[in-house]
Amino acid sequence: MLAAAPPDASPEALSAPARSSQSAVVESLAAQATADTTARPAPAAADSSSTFSALNENFNEGLRLVLTGEWSQLWTWARNGALNSLDDVLLTIGGAVAFLVVAYVLYRVAYRLLDQFLERNRHIDTGLRRLLMQTYRVGAMLLIAVLVLDRLRFNVTALFAGLGIAGIAIGFAARDSLENFISGLTILMDRPFRVGDNVEVEGQFGTVKNITLRSTRIRTFNNEVLVMPNVQMITQKLMNHTMLSTLRVEIDFGIAYKERPGEARDVLLALTEGDERLHPDHPPSVVVTEMADSSVNMRLRLYLKNPKQEVPVRFDYTEKVREALREADIEIPFPHLQLFVDETKAFEGAPWMPAAQQRAQFGDGSSGKGRQTAADG
C-alpha cells in the first residue's frame, strides 16, 4: 500500500526517495495487470473447434474419471460437461437435418421448373436437355452437401483443398473419360446427330437412344444396344440418315439382256402410285446403272417424306419389285456356270453313270474294234 503524505506536505516537499518508491510501486502494479491480461486465455474463434471435438474431449474426460474412480467428480462432469455437449451436438445435427430437408425441397421444385422450361424450348433438343439437367443435378447436390457440412461445423475449406489436390491426380488417371466428356459436349453443341436419329457407324445401323457425357447409346434393329464412346463418335465416319427432311431409298435389281429396260421401268413405276409414304415433290424413277456380265443392272429410286421409314419401305419394295417383274414375265437373271467336257474317258466304267449314257459316249468294244479294222483295211 502507498503511504499517504501528510496533509500539509506539498509535492515539492516530498523527498526524492519517496517519489522513487511510489513510481516503483505503480510500475509493479502495471506489470502485474499486463501479466494477468496475457495469461488470461483468449476467446476461441467460432471455427477453431467444432462441437464434435468438444464432445470428444468431454468423453475422454469422463472415461478418465471412471478409470480413476473419482465418482463425485464424475457426477459433476455428467451434469455440467457431457449433457451440455450432447445438447450442442443434437442442436447442430437437428439444424443440419432441417436445412437439408428445406434445401432438397427447393432443389426438387427448381428441377421441375427447369425441366419444363427446357422441354418447351424448341431450340434445345433432347440430348442437350438431358445434359443440362444432369449438370444441374450434380451441381445442386454438391452445393447442398457443402452447405450441410458447414452447418455441422466441418472445415469445408480444408476439404476443398484436399479435393483439389486429389482432383489433379484423378485428372491424369481419367484422361480417357475427360476426352469422352469433352467429345460429349462437342456432340451436343455441334449436333451431328440427335436423339432419335437413324445413324450408321462402324457398319452398324440403328437409332440414337441417349447421349451422355461419356458415351452414345444406339439401339440396333435387332433390339441390341450399341454403346459407343463419344470420342469415337466424332472421330470416325458417321452417316446420319435422318438429318434432312427428305431421304432417297434405292432398290437395285437386274434383268436379262433379252428384256427391255423400258418395260421394266413402266412395271415398277406403277407400283409407286398412291403410296403416301413417298414425297410428292420428288417423283420416283428407274435408271440403268450397269451393263454387267449376265444382266442389265437397274435401280429404283424412291424419295421419302419421313426418313425414319427407310427400313420398312426398303423391305417392302424389295419384295414388290421381285413379284412385279415375275408377273410381267421379265426374267431376272442369276449367275450360272456351264461346263463343257471334251474328253470324258476318265468317267468310263464309273458305277454312277448309266449304261446307255456310257454306250453313247464311249461306245462298246466291238464297234470300236470294227471301226479300227475297217480303217486298217
Q: Does 364 have pLDDT greater than 80?
A: no
Say which range, 39-48, 181-190, 212-221, has the weakest mean pLDDT.
39-48
Alpha helix stretches (DSSP H) within the chain? 16-39, 51-68, 71-76, 83-120, 126-151, 156-173, 175-190, 230-235, 261-271, 310-327, 355-362, 365-376
Count CB atoms within 10 A of the CB of residue 259: 19
The angle subtended at Cα 301 by Cα 295 and Cα 305, nearest 5°, is: 160
Widest Cα–Cα separation across the chain? 193
Is the pLDDT at 124 greater than 80? The verdict is no
Kindly compute the dihedral angle of the four CA atoms of residues 279, 259, 332, 282, in this order, to the nearest 10 degrees.
-10
User: What mean pLDDT is reported for the chain?
Assistant: 75
Cβ(81)–Cβ(61) under 8 Å? Answer: yes
Task: Check if the beta carbon of residue 339 is closer than 8 Å to that of residue 345.
Answer: no
Q: Does residue 254 contact residue 332 with C-beta atoms inside 8 Å? A: yes
> What mean pLDDT comes out for the span 197-217?
88
- Which residue type occupies 25? V
Q: Find where cell 502495471 sits.
A: 30
Tell me the CA end-to-end span of the chain in Å, nearest whole number.
177
Take residue 134 and report the three cell numbers written for it: 444432369
Q: Of 53-62, 91-100, 204-213, which has the strongest mean pLDDT?
A: 204-213
Q: How far apart are CA 150 and CA 296, in angstroms?
A: 80
Which of the residue ranges 41-55, 115-129, 153-167, 313-327 would you say has the lowest mean pLDDT?
41-55
State the average pLDDT over residues 155-182: 70
Here the cell at position 22 is 511510489
| Weakest-pLDDT range from 82-91, 103-112, 150-159, 259-268 | 82-91
Domains of the chain: 48-173 (1.10.287), 182-240 (2.30.30.60), 247-327 (3.30.70.100)
208/156: higher pLDDT: 208
- For residue 205, pLDDT beyond 70: yes
- Are 209 and 129 spatial neighbours (Cβ–Cβ below 8 Å)? no
In whole angstroms, give the CA distance from residue 314 to residue 311: 5
Residue type for position 53:
S
Question: What's the pLDDT band for 368 if we cut at 50, 70, 90?
Answer: very low
Taking CB atoms within 8 Å and a gap of at least 24, the contacts of 108-114 are 110/136, 110/140, 111/136, 111/137, 111/140
More confident residue, 202 or 271: 271
55-95, pLDDT tens digit by residue? 556 666 666 666 676 666 665 666 555 555 666 667 778 88
Q: What angle do CA 199, 203, 207 make, to 5 degrees?
A: 25
Q: With pLDDT > 70 as the criterion, what percentage of the chain qualifies?
A: 61
Which residues are CB-neighbours of 182 under 8 A, at least 6 positions away? none
- The answer, yes or no, to whether residue 230 has pLDDT greater than 80, is yes
Average pLDDT (354-376) is 49
Helices assigned H by DSSP within 301-364: 310-327, 355-362
What residues pair up with 228 in beta bridges, in sequence order? 216
Residues 181 and 211: their CA atoms lie apart, in Å, by 11
pLDDT at 363 over 60: no
Using alpha carbons only, what angle is made at residue 338 by residues 335 and 342, rounded to the nearest 5 degrees? 165
Residue type for position 317: Y
In the block, residue with C-alpha cell 441390341: 224
